[in-house]
Amino acid sequence: MVRLATLLLLASVTSVSAETVESVEKTLIGNFQKYNSLSAKLNMKMTMGPGMSGTSTGTMEFLRHDGKEKVRSEMKMKMEFGEQVMESNVLNIFDGEHAYSVSDMMGQKRVMRNNSDQVVGRPGGTMFFEDLRKKNKLKLLPDAKVEGAPAYVIEATPKEPQPRGPARSMYYFDKAKGLLVKMEGINASDEAMLTILLSDMKLNPKLDPERFKYVPEPGVEVIDMTRD
C-alpha cells in the first residue's frame, strides 16, 4: 500500500515537472481559440525613475474578425514628474496588421503606427507568442495566483536588452480561462517598472467591428514607426 502511494506521488510529480513552456504555450493558444471576442478593464502602473511615475485606467476589447485578431484599448493616463502632473487620453487600435496609438494631451494629438509587437493589452493567441519569441527567451516559472485564481507564469528575457527597457518580463495567464491577466516588467535592480492588470473579463461579448478601424482625422500626421 505504501509502495503504491509512493508510485502515485512520483507519477504526479513527474506529470507536473513534464510541463514545459512549449506545452503550456500550446495549451494557452488552444484555449484562446474558444474566444471570438473579449472585453476587460485595463489598469497600468509605471515607474520610470526617481520622481517619475504614471498610472492609467481604461478598457480593452478583442475581436476575431475576417480572419484577423484585432485589439482596441482606451486609457486615461496620468504622468508625474516631480511636482509636475500631465494627463492624457490614449487610444490604441490594432486592426490585424498595424498598431495605432493616438494620444491626446491638452488638445494636441499625436498618432504613431507600429508593428504588431507593440499592441497594448493583447490577451493571448498565436500572434502574441510569435511576437514574444522574436525578441525574448521564454521560461516557465512555478504557478502563481492573480486575484486568487491560479495562473501560469512565463518569464520573457530580452535577447537584446534595451537601456531603459525591462531586464525581464513576467506574463501571468489564468489557468481556467487561458487568458493573460497580468504582466510585469522588472528592471535590472529586480524592481517592478511596469505592471498591467486585466480584470472583469467578459467572454464572447457582441462587439462592433467598426471599433477596430482607425482612420486619421484630416490634418493629423501619422508617424510611421513600423520596421521590417
What pLDDT digit, counting tens, does each position of 87-138 carry?
A: 999 999 999 988 999 998 877 888 999 887 778 778 999 989 998 999 999 9
Q: CA–CA separation, 135 vs 159, rounded Å?
A: 6
Q: CA–CA separation, 170 vs 145, rounded Å?
A: 13
Task: Please give the grid coordinates belonging to residue 222.
Answer: 501619422
Q: For the segment 24-63, what is each residue's pLDDT rounded down to a tens digit? A: 999 999 999 999 999 999 999 998 778 889 999 999 999 9
Task: Please give the grid coordinates belonging to residue 25.
Answer: 504555450
| Amino acid making up residue 202 | K
Give the rounded distance of the alpha carbon of 198 from its chain centre. 9
| pTM of the full structure | 0.85
Q: CA–CA separation, 63 vs 37, rounded Å?
A: 4
Residues 6+ apart with CB under 8 A from 200: 40, 41
DSSP 8-state assignment for residue 159: S
Contact between 170 and 184 under an 8 Å Cβ cutoff? The reply is: yes
**Residue for grid cell 473579449:** 38
Q: Largest Cα–Cα distance of the chain, in whole Å? A: 79
pLDDT of residue 136: 96
The H or E element containing residue 186 is strand 179-186
Structural Rg of the chain based on CA atoms: 20
Q: CA–CA separation, 43 vs 58, rounded Å?
A: 6
105 burial via Cβ count (<10 Å: 0-12, 13-18, 19+): middle
Contact between 99 and 114 under an 8 Å Cβ cutoff? The reply is: yes
Domains of the chain: 19-224 (2.50.20.10)
Q: Are strands 136-146 and 222-224 parallel, antiparallel or unpaired?
A: unpaired
Q: CA–CA separation, 44 vs 227, rounded Å?
A: 26
Task: Please give the grid coordinates belonging to residue 101.
Answer: 496609438
Residues 6+ apart with CB under 8 A from 14: none
Q: For the segment 138-151, what is each residue's pLDDT rounded down to a tens digit? A: 999 999 999 999 99
